[in-house]
Structures are given as C-alpha cells and as structure tokens.
Amino acid sequence: MSELKDTGFDDPVTVDVTLSVNGESRPVTVDTRETLLDTLREHLALTGAKKGCDHGQCGACTVLVDGRRVKSCLTLTVTLDDRRITTVEGLAAGDTLHPLQSAFIETDAFQCGYCTPGQLCSAVGMLAEVADGWPSAVTADVAGRPVLDDDEIRERMSGNLCRCGAYVNIVAAIRQVGA
Amino acid sequence: MRPFTYERAADVRSAVAVCAAGDAAYLGGGTNLVDLMRLGVATPAVLVDVTRLPFDRIEETEEGGLLIGAGVRNSDLAADSRVRRRHPMLAQAVVAGASGQIRNMATVAGNLLQRTRCAYFQDVTKPCNKREPGSGCPARRGEHRNLAVLGHSDACVATHPSDMAVPLAALGAVVHIEGPGGSRQVPMPGFHRLPGDRPERDTVLEPGELVTAVEVPPLAFGARSRYRKVRDRASFAFAVVSVAAALDVADGMVRDCRIALGGVAHVPWRAELAEAELCGGPATEAAFTRAAGLEMAQARPLERNAFKVPLAANVLVRTLIDLVEAR
C-alpha cells in the first residue's frame, strides 16, 4: 500500500485580502489554503453558511459572489478581493426578511435548519438565473425561455441537499416567490 | 492540504513562465482542483490564478464558428443564445453537468481538464497508475461499475467525467493552447488521450501549456442535435452513459451526422464507425441499431460494467430516432 503524501511540513503562506461581505469592507489575513467558507465562519463570525460535506456536493455552504450562487467550500478566499460576497446574513434588509425567507417560514420549508442558509442563497441565485432566461437540464426547448414550474425548481436546486427531506415545502416556498 | 503560494496571472506569458518552471498548477474555477488538493491527490507548490485573464468572452470567428474563451463559466456557455440556437447539444450537455453553483464557478478549460472520478484515483491510500504511475490499478478487479468499456488499457480503466467535452468532440472543436514553445491548436478528438501505458497523462498538454480558448467550427445542421445522459439519479450525477448527436436528414436518408459518447472511455468517444455506417444510408431504426451495434462491438467490458454496452447502443438509437422525429 502506498503511503500518504507528506504535506505537513511546508510553511503556511498567508496573504492580506480585503473582502466585501454583505456590503461591508472586511480586511483579513488568510492562509492561501483557506476557503471562503472557513474565512466566513472562523474569521468573520458569519456562521450562517454551513459546512456539510466540504467537497461541493451538499450545497450547505452556498453563498453569492457578485450575485451568483457558488460553493464557498470550493472557493479559495485569496481569489476573492474586489468580489462582492453575500451570505444568508445579508439577505434581509434590517428586520425585513427577504421574500424567500418569509416564504420558507410560511410553507414550513425546513426542519433542522442546517441546510436552510444554503437553500436560501441558492434559491436567490437560481431565481436570478431564471429571470435571465438561463436553460436547465429539464428545459424542453433549450433555445427558448424557461418557465419556472416544479420540475425546473427541483432540477435547478439539485445542488442543495436536505437530509430532513423538506424538499416538498422548499419547492413550494420557491414557487411562491418565483412563479 | 500542502501549503502553496498564490499568484494572479497578469498575462499569458507570465502565467506560462511560472507554470513551466514546475510544481505549479493553473487555477480556474477550482471546483475539481481545490477538492483534489484537499484530498491530497494534487499537491502544487504554486497556484497560478488565470481567471482574471481576458478569456471570458464568446466571439464569432470569420468562418462562422464560435471562439469560446477558456475562462468562460459553464453557466455562461449554456446561457449563450448562439450556443443554444446553433448547438443545442452543447448547451444541453453543460446544463446536464454538476449543479447550478458549480456551473457558475467552473470554466470551459477546467471542464475539459477535470480529472476522472474513479474512486481509486481520488483515494491516496490506494494504488492508482494515474495518480502514482506504476502503483497498479485496483479498479480493474474492484469497483469499476461506472468505468470504461472502450479504449482502456491494463494500466487504467478510468473514464473522462465531462459532459461538455462529449458534444465538443462530436463538433470537432479545436483547443487553442499557449505554451513555453509558443501557441498551437489541437482538434478534438485528439486533445484527450487513451490511457495506454501512460494513464497519468489525460491530455496531450505539455508542462506549462495553458488552454486559452475552444473553437467550435460551424455546423450547418448543428441545430438538429441533442445530448442525452443516463445517470444513477435524476440530477447532479456523472454520466453512466451519454450521447451527443447531430443529424442531417433529407428524404428519409442520413446526409451527414456527428456522434460522440460519454461515460464509456478515457476520452470523449467519437463514434466514427457509427458515423461512417450511417452517412448515405436510410434514417431508420434498423439502420441506427446496426450502426450503434457496430460502434459498441469494439467494447471490452469489465466484469461489472457490461451493461454499459447495450445501454450506450440503446441510448444512441433512441437519440437518433428523436432527432429524426424532431420538428
């Protein structure tokens, strides 16, 4: 059997970057290896984005970068200066919830809540993609304009897992806002 | 993860110079590379971020084709109205891959250069000829249900995981490359390589070479094309088998066609035998079945993936029938 590669003894490399997070400028010194997810949670006390799989497969870490949904667990923080980052903490306007947040409450779209910040950020990004006319894998005519039905919502949200199985109500919440 | 220094490329020349010096990797969207670094599979000492180079546009070529910048995000490629209208199979393949979040990050070049998802390749505690040449291939007798049936070797039975690369191979796309020795262009198929006894090399890229664009030549009948993907769950899963096909039919005869298969080989597999059999013949289910059978007769399935041979043939036949019946 081959041995584990020796990766433990090189010196860490740190870099100063200035992030724009939820409209605030946040200077931070990061290890080049650090992901946006770890920077948000460990350095900036923004613990809304969750670490589920840390491999880009579960979607719990989803945030918006320049308005687009991405996996913060696969995004190196050092790549992000000048980029505009929005986390679940930045969706509401003061005490006024984002329409998707209200819809998730109204339709009972979560149980344990662990995946919810990722679901919300993903849904915000996804509705913008539909508004821009982007096709999906279930869009019948890829050259035409997609219509947001339940199949489209399910396909477009497939990057966000919910182990409680709240999918039915998540689809309902998104339909309420997006349709 | 091994510590690394981060450099943001100011221009192609400096990026190539850094990478050609060795122990460095280009960083695109990072959706595969960052994960491989975390797993200990990739251990570069330097990461050269090429995402801010001016390769983020899709432009018309003089010949009427499209020049797709290497840094174009997968989602922008699939959303492009020219791609959707002229080459539906390309847009369909891109949106059939990964998830919305990952498509927003992943680049066109990174998609072409992604590594196999063979479980042994991704597990540094296991032997793997692709990761560690000469260490062996446990997949050949182990977990290979989703690995290759065509073109594999004793050394490696991995599959190329890309959906996007399948229609690009069918379209004869040309990969534009800048390297220490200058620029060159490599047509698909031909960019990815079969494993042979050098499975550590996925492509013909030489050390330090950087993909700058992918050129899609014009195809008059490209609008009549389709990508069909079979996977273990409805979404966010790699292909078990996939087909990209474009068909030019008139008066019940096949005038021309382009076909490639995904999920079956170390490369996006251009179905040249099937194409040759179909061209000039009748556009009937019997002819399609004969052509698909001819292509898949080359398969050498492993113990637990023989199902892929009839599956690929059936998906190909169904895709061609759909194209005949379309419009």
Q: Where are the domains of chain A?
A: 14-87, 99-178
- A27-85 per-position pLDDT tens digit: 999 999 999 999 999 999 999 999 999 999 999 999 999 999 999 999 999 999 989 99
How far apart CA A114 and CA A21 sit, in angstroms, is 21
Tokens of B250: 């008139």
* Upper half-sphere CA count for residue B265 (Cβ side, 13 Å): 28
Tokens of B264: 């079956």
Tokens of B124: 């540094």
- A29-42 per-position pLDDT tens digit: 999 999 999 999 99
Tokens of B97: 């891959």
Confidence of residue A9 (pLDDT cuts 50, 70, 90): low
Question: Which strands, in side-by-side order, build the sheet including B174-179?
Answer: B58-60, B66-69, B210-216, B174-179, B182-187
Q: Does B141 touch chain A (CB under 8 A)?
A: no
- ipTM of this predicted structure: 0.96
According to DSSP, residue A88 is labeled G
Tokens of B253: 């005869």
Tokens of B246: 């474009």
The DSSP bridge pattern shows strands B241-250 and B253-262 to be antiparallel
Q: Does A89 touch chain B (CB under 8 A)?
A: no
Q: Of B187, B326, B195, nearest to B270 (Cα)? A: B187
- B209-221 per-position pLDDT tens digit: 999 999 999 999 9
Confidence of residue A10 (pLDDT cuts 50, 70, 90): confident
Burial B187-216 (b: 16+ CB within 10 A, else e): ebbebbbbbeeebeebbebeebbbbbbbbb
Interface of B with A in 84-113 (CB under 8 A): 84-85, 88, 91-92, 95-96, 98-102, 104-105
- pLDDT exceeding 90 applies to what percent of chain A? 93
Q: Do B95 and A76 touch (CB under 8 A)?
A: no
CATH code, residues A14-87: 3.10.20.30
Residues in contact with B35: Cβ distance below 8 Å, sequence separation at least 6, in sequence order? A55, A56, A74
The DSSP bridge pattern shows strands B46-49 and B58-60 to be unpaired
* Upper half-sphere CA count for residue B305 (Cβ side, 13 Å): 27
| pLDDT reported for residue A1 | 44
pLDDT at A4 over 70: no
Residues in contact with B110: Cβ distance below 8 Å, sequence separation at least 6, in sequence order? B28, B29, B30, B31, B32, B33
Q: Do domains A14-87 and A99-178 have the same CATH topology?
A: no
Q: Do B1 and A7 touch (CB under 8 A)?
A: yes
How far apart CA B224 and CA B323 sit, in angstroms, is 7
Query: Which ranges of chain B have pLDDT less than 70?
Result: 327
| pLDDT reported for residue A3 | 54
How far apart CA A150 and CA A119 sit, in angstroms, is 16
Give chain A positions within 8 Å (CB) of B2. 5, 7, 10
How far apart CA A125 and CA A123 sit, in angstroms, is 5
Q: Does B78 touch chain A (CB under 8 A)?
A: yes
CATH code, residues A99-178: 1.10.150.120
> In chain B, what is the greatest distance between 2 CA atoms, to the nearest angstrom?
63
| pLDDT reported for residue A6 | 56
Interface of B with A in 109-138 (CB under 8 A): 124-127, 132, 135
- pLDDT exceeding 90 applies to what percent of chain B? 99
Question: Helix or strand or coil: residue A4?
Answer: coil
CATH code, residues B225-325: 3.30.390.50
- Asked whether the beta carbons of B259 and B159 are under 8 A apart, the reply is no
